[in-house]
Structure 1
């Protein structure tokens, strides 16, 4: 194991051009030691970085390490098949001590690996673990603003490009004919068979109300399946953020709506086409990443109670269709004292008058990049 650790320690890290994300790791604080004539860490935050496969965890960590002195860190990808966890636990602490490792990275961390005493510990994994000593960072696929950093220029084609590629950073390097297969292979590697089948079904039903029981009823007709195992797999997909659920306002027991972690999964896992549901999923992900509390209600895509706002996903709306939509939800508007109604469109911008609420139509790109 010492030979392998030495290989990890001496290997130079490389990444392609790094585009800043909205989350980041704080750099350590140093002081200069006059005796050793070296900068020594006096304070450094330790992190667990959580996110689905291909969300950018490894690149975020490597970019951070490349700003540190080469001999001050040790990077270990725990998916390396040469690693024997028992031997790693036996040797890692002593190795870090002998080589004066300040920052230890356990990428793709496995819970059986023991932590060691270093100034800074960084781990990455899909699911958030209960580790009180580590500050947790949740990394989602790119939102629209982050996506634009990968574009050569920002013009009217950027939004269409976002629909084609989605939020996985790696998609920018993959030719169009290989993107769906790449996503499929990534998911099959990261998920078990049950989780993968559930995710495929959710791709067909994106932005719709669906329960784990309904998924069980549909899948049991095509494969041998245990209800308990399916429920557990469904919960795993939710906890790891491969799928997201949205409650109905003030109806916790009502069937939740299902959204995918990234819109690219729709075409990769399903041949069904429904642009309206894809558009709604995209709007939901922007709300999720901005940590906006929201719910759905009858004929209302998103209700933001803290903002007294309703968001309607109407990609091809005009003033007339928006007016008709508002007529159907007027009871909710008056009951909840809604002060703002925002209809998110593809490219239409405008406003209509309403006695209680400010009603506007905003193109997705303007809305997503707004405050």
Structure 2
């Protein structure tokens, strides 16, 4: 009870809150998202609407020993109107409180009585809002590319981004998971070859296949990595991406600008809340929208259109009606076989994505 009293008497100090496209609406919420996506800021802003609340962060060492299943007595005694519990890892019995919000980084966690809400990393528009720099579009894109999409990324200098992201990962992941992530970085925008990662790590550390496969599954459950399926159900290979596209540069010396830009595009697509797939020729496919995306960042628009024309039969077979081609070249529109192809730079595409 002393711990609860201390937390109640010393709530987190208010901080400047920058509006996101996501809002907490409702009285019983389970907020999911990768560490660093902005869950805490969103929750603290929500709590500021209440004059009597209790905030518990289970990652705070000072919270050690709290019995979450015995909160009712304290809530009733203090007449608490809102309860927030951050960084929950396992199910609990919900206490009796008018407003409850719980945060977790685990996709697999479900709690009866709570409505799930997912918070993603900053999209391009949100980054611009947070960054507050009056640069032209191409420069803003470059800064986004370097810094990534975590909620604190706009406030980092270009020169501290890599070190900060490494520290961020080290603070929450053990040495094995860091090595796994570093290996996954070399498979970005490619089918994830877990066996090859196993062979790479086995040469340096003692490791079983089962342990590796479980750790990769855990990293996906924690939203650090995400995978997508091939459009052909008979092909089981999954492509892999980071939830923060800047992680590749922070974890690997191998440079692959196209893969990083593809990861940026993937992160933007997540806000559509639609299933995303791929084919051997089309980088991303959103079947529900009959929509495809080609990543051709270094091709002139004329050559990009020519490549699209060669793929028109394949796009027709997939039932696509629109294909956006992400390129740093000049915008251009063409139509082949009833499919519209739009060549445009990332910054134009991201602003127009709905």
Instruction: Compute the TM-score of the two structures, normalised by the length of structure 1.
Output: 0.88
Q: Which moved more, 1:51-60 or 1:74-83?
A: 74-83
Asked whether the equivalents of residues 337 and 356 of structure 1 are also in contact (C-alpha less than 8 Å), the reply is no
Separation (CA, whole Å) in 2 of partners of 1:110 and 1:93: 20
1:130 aligns with 2:129: no
Matched residue SS, 1:247: strand
**Offset from partner CA, 1:71-124 (integer Å, 9 cap, x none):** x21011112223343x53475321111001111111122427653211121111
The aligned residue for residue 136 of structure 2 is 155
Corresponding position of 2:282: 300
Aligned equivalents of 2:113, 2:329: Cα separation in 1? 47
1:30 corresponds to: none
Cα distance change on mapping 1:333 and 1:91 into 2, 3 Å: closer
Q: Distance in 2 between matches of 1:368 and 1:17?
A: 26
Q: How does 1:47-66 map to 2 (within 5 A)?
A: 47-66=29-48
State how far apart, in whole Å, the 2-side matches of 1:148 and 1:181 are: 22
- Mapped contact 1:78–1:110 kept (Cα < 8 A): no
Equivalent position SS for 2:298: coil
The alpha carbon displacement at 1:142 in A equals 0.7
How far did 1:150 drift? 0.8
TM-score in terms of structure 2 length: 0.92
**Equivalents in 2 of 1:333, 1:90: separation in Å?**
54
Offset of residue 302 of structure 1: 1.3
Partner of 1:199: 181
Rg (Cα) greater in structure: 1
Structure 1 residues 320 and 111: CA distance shift in structure 2, 3 A: same
Runs of 4+ in 1 over 6 A off after TM superposition: none
Whether the 8 Å contact between 2:123 and 2:267 is mirrored in structure 1 is yes
SS in 1 for 2:80: coil
Q: Cα distance 1:331–1:79, how it changes in 2: closer, same or farther (>3 A)?
A: same
Deviation sequence 1:176-223 (CA, Å, 0-9, x none): 333212211211222233322211111122111123223222221222
CA offset at residue 243 of structure 1?
A: 0.7
Q: Distance in 2 between matches of 1:17 and 1:258?
A: 35
- Corresponding residue pairs, total: 350
Per-residue CA deviations over 1:256-281 (Å, capped at 9, x if unaligned) read 11111111101111111111111111
Query: Structure 2: any 5+ residue segments left out of the alignment?
Result: none
Provide closer, same or farther for how the CA distance between residues 175 and 252 of structure 1 changes in structure 2, counting only shifts above 3 A. same
